[in-house]
Amino acid sequence: MKNKFEHLKEKIIHDIESGSLSPKPRWKEIGYSVLTIVLVSAIFALTVAVFVYLFHALRAAGLSSLLGFGWRGIILFLFLVPWGLIAIDILFVMLLMRVIKRFEIGWKVPRLYLAVFFLVTAFTAGYVLDRPMNDRMEASNMYERPTPPRIGAGFTHGVIITLDEPECSLSIVDERSGDTIEVWVLQPACERLILFRVGESIIIAGEDEDGILKAYGIRHDIRPSFPKKQ
């Protein structure tokens, strides 16, 4: 094995001396490395930015409330999550893996491990930066509250205008359409009606049947307030 490497070394030296092989200029190698590092940093920053926006979208639309509505709420949450943003993040990471393979770590560490590491790191960075960045942008009037899904989608926001706790019923003014919607709250969510008052903003998950929303989940609307644009 040693003789084989010695032979290869002598052949490379001979090719360089004969002019058939020329080493890459040092400045090109440095330039390419710098460009690669910049590209990797840019892709990682974009991945973090997408996660920051994703956290904001989930929080501002109130989708995270669905996770407290049992298995039906979890299934609805999975349907309403903006998977397109997550797909964009995955594409960014795949591009990052292609770029980083030229570095030594790209050969020594399996790419799947690297991809998971970058996704977890970007996810953590996005979670940490969510509030500082998005709260500042909201205060600067750069955001508008996302439009809630239509009532038929099983998830809406509104303001309570009537409330009948014993009958497990209430009516709300839908935030999206401005229409009055009659709501019948199913058990065990009905037991929570004692926590609500007329005039409060709420988030409801349920199914529309013959003009009546049969709700299986209800929460106070604690989404961030968005300043109105002038």
195 in the same domain as 129? no
pLDDT in tens, the chain (230 residues): 555 556 666 766 666 666 655 555 666 667 777 877 888 788 888 888 888 888 877 776 677 777 777 787 788 788 877 788 788 878 877 887 777 766 655 556 677 777 788 888 888 988 888 777 766 665 555 455 444 444 445 778 889 999 988 888 899 988 777 888 888 888 888 888 888 889 888 888 888 887 788 888 888 886 655 444 44
123 in the same domain as 21? yes
173 in the same domain as 129? no
170 in the same domain as 115? no
Tell whether 199 is covered by a domain.
yes
171 in the same domain as 94? no
Tell whether 183 is covered by a domain.
yes
34 in the same domain as 130? yes
Q: Is the peptide bond before 166 cis (omega within 30 degrees of 0)?
A: no
200 in the same domain as 89? no
Tell whether 230 is covered by a domain.
no
158: nearest Cα among 121, 128, 118, 198: 198
Tell whether 225 is covered by a domain.
no
Last residue of a domain, one of 139, 165, 191: 139
Domain span at 17: 2-139
How many structural domains does the chain have? 2
Tell me the CATH number at 210: 2.40.50.140
72 near 206, Cβ under 8 Å?
no
Tell whether 16 is covered by a domain.
yes
133 in the same domain as 29? yes
Q: How far is CA 123 from CA 56, 62, 107, 118, in A?
A: 13, 19, 24, 8
Last residue of a domain, one of 112, 139, 166: 139
As given in the structure block, the two tokens for residue 73 are 């709420």
Q: Give the pLDDT score at 141.
A: 53
